[in-house]
């Protein structure tokens, strides 16, 4: 990813000992995106949805690009492209996410974002295990596959996509398997991650659990 394109590159990194990173990992449609945005707003932190990096590379591969070239030339503007949430791009993202060279290319951007001034929330699959294992707070947000498929199905139908619950469930299960079994940076909870199971939680209850976990470690001057 082009270093000069980092949207926070005009800001100074934290001084030593003052960086604060919240790493939020978990499978698709567990609620980590909504929780991450809410947490970032609550604490006034920057937020990076790292899935968008893989989605943007996947979308470019669907248009005929070479995966590594696409990752090397990725810009922040590419993360705003239309259609990045489609089922086709989701699959393409999971396909490029197994490629070690693509992951290596995207790693430095994520690390720099994580340690920049003001603190940051990053959500993805390998944030607490590979990208920022020293993150001050790690959450692993999950839910059972039926609940996640139901959420994703409703989102897709609302956006006008034609699909069935069964199809979405199969996609969720296949993507989980792929993300958890890949050799490089598989989806996994860090040993010291706080687990939040949203299967039976409302979004506001899940956010409250996340805030309770973060508050324990959040620096005083920021709370």
Q: What is the H or E stretch that residue 27 is in?
A: none
Nearer to ligand C5P, 10 or 82 (CB): 82
| Stretch in the footprint of ligand C5P (CB under 6 A) among 59-67, 91-99, 162-170, 203-211 | 91-99
Site for ligand C5P in 14-53 (CB under 6 A): 28, 50-51
**In the chain, what is the greatest distance between 2 CA atoms, to the nearest angstrom?**
51
- What is the phi/psi pair of residue 47, to 5°? -130, 135
In order, the DSSP letters of 46-111 are: EEEETHHHHHHHHHHHHTT--HHHHHHT--GGGGG-TTTTSHHHHHHHHHHHT-HHHHHHHHHHHH
Alpha-carbon gap, residue 206 to 65, rounded angstroms? 39
Site string for ligand C5P, 184-213 (x = CB under 6 A): ------------------------------
Q: Does 105 bind ligand C5P (CB under 6 A)?
A: no
Site string for ligand C5P, 108-147 (x = CB under 6 A): ----------------xxxx--------------------
Residues that bind ligand C5P (CB under 6 A): 28, 50-51, 54-55, 90, 93-94, 97, 124-127, 175, 179
């Amino acid at each position: 990813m082009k270093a000069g394109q980092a949207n926070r590159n005009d800001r100074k990194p934290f001084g030593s000992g003052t960086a604060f990173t919240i790493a939020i990992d978990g499978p698709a449609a567990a609620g980590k995106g909504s929780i991450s945005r809410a947490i970032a707003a609550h604490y006034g932190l920057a937020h990076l949805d790292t899935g968008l990096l893989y989605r943007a590379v996947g979308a470019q591969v669907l248009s005929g690009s070479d995966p590594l070239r696409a990752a090397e030339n990725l810009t922040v503007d590419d993360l705003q492209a239309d259609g990045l949430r489609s089922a086709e791009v989701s699959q393409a993202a999971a396909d490029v996410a197994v490629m070690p060279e693509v992951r290596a290319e995207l790693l430095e951007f994520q690390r720099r974002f994580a340690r920049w001034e003001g603190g940051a929330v990053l959500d993805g699959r390998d944030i607490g295990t590979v990208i920022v294992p020293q993150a001050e707070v790690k959450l692993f947000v999950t839910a059972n596959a039926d609940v996640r498929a139901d959420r994703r199905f409703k989102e897709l139908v609302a956006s006008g996509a034609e699909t069935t619950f069964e199809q979405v469930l199969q996609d969720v299960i296949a993507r989980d398997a792929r993300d958890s079994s890949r050799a490089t940076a598989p989806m996994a909870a860090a040993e010291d991650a706080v687990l939040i199971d949203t299967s039976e939680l409302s979004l506001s209850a899940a956010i409250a659990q996340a805030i309770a976990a973060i508050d324990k470690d959040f620096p005083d001057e920021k709370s």
